[in-house]
Structures are given as C-alpha cells and as structure tokens.
C-alpha cells in the first residue's frame, strides 16, 4: 500500500532537515574562520584595540605593513586588463581563480587593488618593475575593510577574501598577473613569472 499524505510530508521534512543542519554548520564555520582571520589581521595593527574600534565605527581599520604582511598596490586598469573586464564582480572571480591562495582588497574610490603578500616582499620589491605599481612595506599603512565585506559596495571591500589566518598571495602569481595586464595594455611580450621556489623564500 502507498504512504498516507501525512507520512509522505513527514518523510520529506526528515530528508530536508539534515541539509538545513549542514547549511547552518557551514555558516558557523565561515563565521569562525572570519573571526580567526580578523584576529590575525589585527595583529598587524599598531594598536589592535583601536583598529577593532575603527572597524566597528568606520568599517575600515588601519594596519601597518612590513611586520606580518606587505601589500602590492596595483592600478585597477592593470588588473582589469589582465582579467579582460572592468566589471568588479567579474574581475573578482578572475582573481579568485588566478590566485592559489591569498587575499586582495579593492579600494573602489581610488580604483586600486591591494594584494596582500609576505612582509619580506616590501624589502625585495623592485619599484621599477611595473609602472605605477608599488609594494607597501615598512613605514607604510593600509586600510582594510571588515572581513565579511566581500561585495563591491562602499569605499573598500575584499575582492578576494582571506580563507585562513595568514593566507597571503604567492609573489610569483602576483608578478604573472601584472605581466599579463601589462602585456594586454602595452602589447609587450610578458616575461616568465617568478619561479615558485623564489616565492617560497618569502613565506
């Protein structure tokens, strides 16, 4: 005999409930991960308590470069040329696919991208390597948005979200991206990217 409608409805609810719990667990894990990332980022602030207050009040906190991280500042047109689009959301997807790891902040008002890289890059960066590209190291500061601000709204947002505490961009991947954008803008032949072995020295 077939099941009664009430039995069928109960079975359907029972099937759906594990999925609901799975979604809830994923949300909790994402919140925990973001909390851990936020704590790590605050370790780069001159004053962690003040930086957290800045996040709470303004949505952006100021971090010091050269300690636990540096940042490669890239004009938006160079990133968009590499991505083949000026649409911010589409460029974000491109960056996420391009980078094996790492995090990228986008300043929408200034049209600039900041690729977070190991601190040592601030000392090793060649300022003449790419036009209008600069690596912010010691004695430089960077404003970063709240860790959950991941959509193109407001002054700044995470174009590529940091997946785990200390997950920084590989320098060779950033260099390859810049070469790609430079080639697209100027028609130049892109040099070979920095070997991964060199990137590992920066970790």
Please report, to the nearest 10 degrees, the dihedral formed by the alpha carbons of residues 137, 62, 36, 117 taken in order: -20
How confident is the model at residue 20, as a pLDDT? 38
Q: What stretches of the chain adopt beta strand conformation (E)?
A: 60-64, 70-75, 104-107, 112-117, 134-136, 141-145, 156-160
Q: Is the pLDDT of residue 168 over 80?
A: yes
Q: What is the pLDDT of residues 53-109, one digit of tens each?
A: 999 999 999 999 999 999 999 999 999 999 999 999 999 999 999 999 999 999 999
What is the rounded CA–CA span in Å between residue 165 and residue 195? Answer: 24
How confident is the model at residue 25, as a pLDDT? 59
**In sequence order, what are the residues at sequence separation of 6 or more whose Cβ sits closer than 8 angstroms to the Cβ of residue 45?**
51, 61, 62, 63, 64
How confident is the model at residue 126, as a pLDDT? 86
What is the rounded CA–CA span in Å between residue 125 and residue 135? Answer: 6
Q: Is the pLDDT of residue 6 over 70?
A: no
Q: Is the pLDDT of residue 194 over 50?
A: no
β-partners of residue 104 are: 115, 160
How confident is the model at residue 37, as a pLDDT? 97
Q: Is the pLDDT of residue 160 over 80?
A: yes
Lowest pLDDT segment from 9-13, 94-98, 139-143: 9-13
- For the chain, give the mean pLDDT: 83
């Amino acid at each position: 005999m077939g099941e009664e409608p009430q039995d069928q409805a109960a079975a359907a609810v029972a099937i759906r409930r594990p999925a609901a719990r799975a979604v809830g667990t994923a949300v909790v894990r994402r919140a925990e991960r973001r909390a851990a990332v936020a704590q790590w980022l605050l370790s780069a602030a001159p004053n962690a308590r003040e930086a957290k207050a800045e996040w709470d009040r303004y949505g952006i906190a100021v971090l010091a470069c050269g300690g636990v991280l540096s940042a490669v500042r890239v004009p938006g047109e160079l990133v968009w040329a590499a991505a083949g689009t000026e649409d911010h959301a589409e460029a974000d997807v491109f960056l996420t696919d391009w980078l094996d790891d790492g995090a990228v902040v986008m300043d929408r008002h200034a049209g600039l991208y900041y690729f977070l890289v190991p601190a040592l890059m601030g000392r090793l960066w060649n300022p003449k390597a790419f036009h209008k590209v600069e690596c912010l190291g010691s004695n430089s500061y960077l404003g970063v948005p709240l860790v959950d601000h991941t959509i193109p709204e407001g002054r700044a947002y995470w174009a590529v979200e940091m997946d785990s505490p200390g997950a920084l961009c590989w320098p060779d991947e950033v260099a390859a991206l810049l070469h790609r954008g430079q080639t697209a803008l100027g028609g130049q032949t892109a040099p070979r990217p920095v070997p991964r072995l060199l990137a590992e020295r920066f970790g």
